[in-house]
A = this chain, B = another copy of it.
C-alpha cells in the first residue's frame, strides 16, 4: 500500500482542514464547531459588518481529496464557506444545511454543486430545508465533463472553479442574488472540461489503484478514480493536447463563438495533484499552440486546484468569455487562497538577443609581445607536454590516469595560440588563458584552472573583491582562511604584482572548488608557491611548489577530486598528480627566467 503522510485516516480531513485554517493566519478562516460530522470552513471575517451578511454568500463543497478545492478557495472574492465530506464522499445534508444557516444573510446564498448524485441530493435537500427555514438560497449544479458522450448527467470537474470565481467576484462587489446566480448559471452552461491521467488516485488506508500499466494513460477520467473512457499508450504530449483541445472546442456551445467575446475563451489548466510541474509547463506550451489555445484570452494555471489525491494528470477547462466574465475572472480575491489568478494572454516579443558581442568582448584579445612572458609560457607548456606520460602513470595509481594528457592538451593549445596572446597585458593574458584552459581541458580541473586565471586576470576590479570574500562561504557570512585576502588585492588596483594576482586566482579556486590546503590537490603545491613567490621570487616559488607536491605523498586522505574515493593505503607514497603538474610548471618557469 502506498505510503501517505497522514495520522489516523479517520481524522484525515479534519486535520487537513485545521492545517489550512491554522496556516492561513489570524482572521482569515474559521470552521463550524461540528467535527467530525460537520466539516465546514468559512470566512472568519464574514460577521464583520463591512464584509459579510449584507452580501450574497457563495457556498460550495463536496467530497475531500480534491484539495485545495473547496476549502482552499474560501476567502474574500471567492467562497464564503466550503462544506467537506470524507475523501471522495459527499457531505451530509446537515453539514450543508449548517453552512447555509451559518453564512446566509438577507442577501441570500448561492450554492454551487458538482453534478454527482450524492452531492445533488444532499446539497439539494439542504437547500430545500434552508428555504423552508426562510432563507433565500439559489443552487447551480455544474456538469462540465465532456468525457462521456450523450450522458444525461455529466460530471462536475475543475470548470466548477470558474463558477466559484465569477460568483465570488460578483458577490464581493455587492451584486444581488439573482445577478450572482445568473452569472454563475452562464458559466455553468458554457464551461467544458476534459481530464487525462497516467495514474490512479491513491487513497490513504486503501489499496493503491493498480489499473494503470506503465506508459499508459486514461483520457476522460473522473476525479474519484473512475476509469477513463479510453486507455492508450501515451504518445507525444502535443498530440494528446491537440485531441483534448479539439474535443473541447466541439463541445463548447456554438464552438465558443457565442456572445460578445467573438470567440475569446478562458482556459483553465488544472493539475490533478501528482503531475510534475515541469510536465505541466510542457502542456501549457502545447495547449497554447492549439487552435483553441490561439483563441485564449485568459489563462488560469497550471495549478493544482481540483485534484484527485496525487493523480499524475491534468484537466483542461474552456469557457467562452465576454468582458463581464473576464472582469470577474481577473478580479482580485484573497491572495492567501489557492486561486492562482488569471493572466491575460497576447502576442509579445519573447526573445532577447543573446549578448554574444559582449561575450566576445569579455574575451577580446589584442596580441602583444613580452619576450620574458613568452619564454616562461614556452618553458611551462613544454615541460607539461614532456611530462605527459609520467603524470598519466602517476594518476593511474590514484585516479583514472589522464592528468598528464589533460595538462598536455591544455599546454599544446596555449602554445598554438602563443602568437595571438596579449603577452604584454597580464590581465588580458590571464583572461585569455582562462578561456583556453576552460575549453581545452576537460573535467573539473579544467574549470578550476580556468577559474584560477579568470580571477587572477580580474584581480583588482571592485566587483571581484566583495565576492571573493563571500562566494565560497556556504551557509556562512564570512570567508575566513582564504589565502592572501583578495580585498587587499582589489584595493591595489590592476597593477597588482603577479603574486597577488595568482593569490587571488588560488583564492577563487579554493572558494569555488571547495578544497583547501592539505586536501591532497594541486592546491598543496599552488598555495605555498604563491606565498613564496611574493617574498622570494620564482626560485623560492618553485622550491615551495616542489616540497608542497612531495608532501602530498604522505597525505592518506584526499578530500576532493577522484582520489577522494581511493583508500589511504593506495595513496601512501604517491604524489598527487595535480600538485606534481603545478610543481613542474613552477620549476620550468623559474629555471627559464
Contacts and interface: CB of A to CB of B under 8 A. Distances in A.
Nearest to A349: B30
Contacts of A455: 128, 131
Nearest to A102: B355
Contacts of A127: 467, 471
Interface residues of A, number: 174
Contact of A463 (B136, B275, B454): B136
Given A121-B444, A127-B471, A470-B140, A5 B237 contact: yes
A278 interface: yes
A98 B214 CA distance: 40
A510 to B, nearest CB: 11
Contacts of A283: 5, 19
B101 A351 contact: no
What secondary structure prevails in chain A residues at the interface with B?
Answer: mixed
Given A346-B26, A349-B30, A198 B129 contact: no
B275 A466 contact: no
A359 B97 contact: yes
* Copies of this polypeptide in the complex: 2
Contacts of A12: 278, 282
Contacts of A427: 132
B314 A5 contact: yes
A120 B514 contact: yes
Interface stretch (A374-382, A388-396, A399-407, A445-453): A445-453
Interface string A1-38: 11111111000110111111111111101111110001
A25 B234 contact: no
A559 interface: yes
Contact of A25 (B65, B346, B470): B346
A277 interface: yes
A49 interface: no
17 contacts: A3-B217, A3-B234, A5-B280, A6-B237, A15-B281, A25-B343, A25-B345, A121-B451, A125-B438, A125-B451, A129-B435, A131-B464, A135-B463, A181-B470, A185-B476, A274-B275, A276-B309
Q: Which 6 A-B pairs have the closest CB atoms?
A: A124-B512, A19-B285, A19-B284, A26-B348, A128-B454, A136-B463
